[in-house]
Amino acid sequence: MDKLFSDKEYAFSKVYQSLNVTALLKKQPDDFIVEEYIPVDFSGEGEHCWIYIKKSGCNTDWVAEQLTSYCGVKRMEVAYAGLKDRHAVTSQWFSVQLPGKPTPDWADFESGFSADDSAEKIQVLQSVRHNRKLQRGALKSNAFKITLRDLSDTSDAMFEALQLRCEMIAQRGVANYFGSQRFGRNYNNLEQAVKLFSRPRFKLARHKRGMYLSAARSWLFNRILSERIDQHVWDNRLPGDVFMLDGKSACFKDDATDDLKQRLESNEIHPTAPLWGEGDGMVASDAAELEANIIDQYPVYRDGLIAARLQAQRRACRVIPGQLEGSRQGNNFVVSFSLPAGCYATVVLAEIFSELIEAV
């Protein structure tokens, strides 16, 4: 199959100069540890049982299916906030709707996955009753602890450079790209989006349609952000910009006041780029021109997203990882940090290592 884009288009610009060191990712499950954080004040009672589960060797949907079977409920009565990787050790919340029913015996549930030869491991860390169902997308942030192995350069100088790079990122942040997983294996989601736009009346499962539309919007966002990096304005003001408060979704238009520079330098606010759709894009002047120049290069996505009636939104161009630390452990390098929901750990790692080789 012919490539959808040129090789250059598949590569997004990086903020930091390459350190020319490669590393192996996910050699074993506990090399990639994720803990989900959801801010909620539990009522302690109600028909929904929330459980915080630590898992490895299994994906989120599979765990949901096991809960459905064990609790004897319909699949729609089991909920989670977001998907977590199979090839990792991840902790996340689920909720099960159990009106008029007692809390299940979670020790018995997890015992079915405790055998030494079991590929799937599940441990119930916490259980609490609540009067509301867990909503998709409700998570606030994720905390990561990632071990990189088989570095191509294990000199003392390289480990010092890696630690310095982590310190730089902790202060300045990284470009808030969508990760490659958003585009599917071999960018298949982008190709499927083209097919969707050419046959808009074709019946398609709702989740697949949403996945393909999201891939198209994410691609346009990444291409605009890459251009902003090339023009050295990914974290600086461009006339006509729209800014977003750090950790918030609220946006405001460029007012050309003197304190914008200081607020950008202190990471209080960030420039934004569009999640393309119909409605007011808010931008003007140079920022509007930059965005239009990129959007117009992809008319199929530009017109298709409008026809799909997606509403325009904004996303911050920069994200500052929280509590970012990098440390040497023997010949391995361990990176820990937290990210807001919707941001990608692999994007942070890509600014530390020139290439990541996934073992799985």
pLDDT beyond 80 at 3: no
Q: Answer yes or no: are the C-beta atoms of 148 and 23 closer than 8 Å.
A: yes
Looking at the structure, tell me whether residues 91 and 227 fall in a common domain. Answer: no
pLDDT beyond 60 at 225: yes
Q: Answer yes or no: are the C-beta atoms of 218 and 276 closer than 8 Å.
A: no
**Confidence tier at 349 by pLDDT (50, 70, 90):** very high
pLDDT beyond 60 at 185: yes
Looking at the structure, tell me whether residues 109 and 186 fall in a common domain. Answer: no
pLDDT of res. 2:
62
The one catalytic residue in 85, 235, 241, 254 is 85
Mean pLDDT lowest for which of 3-17, 38-52, 57-71? Answer: 3-17
**Confidence tier at 114 by pLDDT (50, 70, 90):** confident
Which has the higher per-residue pLDDT, 233 or 249?
Answer: 233
Alpha-carbon span 352 to 22, nearest angstrom: 9
**Confidence tier at 207 by pLDDT (50, 70, 90):** confident
85 is a catalytic site residue: yes
pTM confidence score: 0.93
Q: Answer yes or no: are the C-beta atoms of 182 and 354 closer than 8 Å.
A: no
pLDDT beyond 90 at 154: yes
Element (DSSP H or E) covering residue 358? strand 355-358
Per-residue pLDDT, averaged over 1-13, amounts to: 79
CA atoms in the 13 A half-sphere facing the CB of 129: 11
Looking at the structure, tell me whether residues 206 and 307 fall in a common domain. Answer: yes
Per-residue pLDDT, averaged over 160-185, amounts to: 96
Task: Count structural domains, the chain.
Answer: 2
Q: Residue 54 is part of which domain span?
A: 40-139
Q: Is residue 256 part of a domain?
A: yes
Q: Is residue 239 part of a domain?
A: yes
Looking at the structure, tell me whether residues 238 and 181 fall in a common domain. Answer: yes
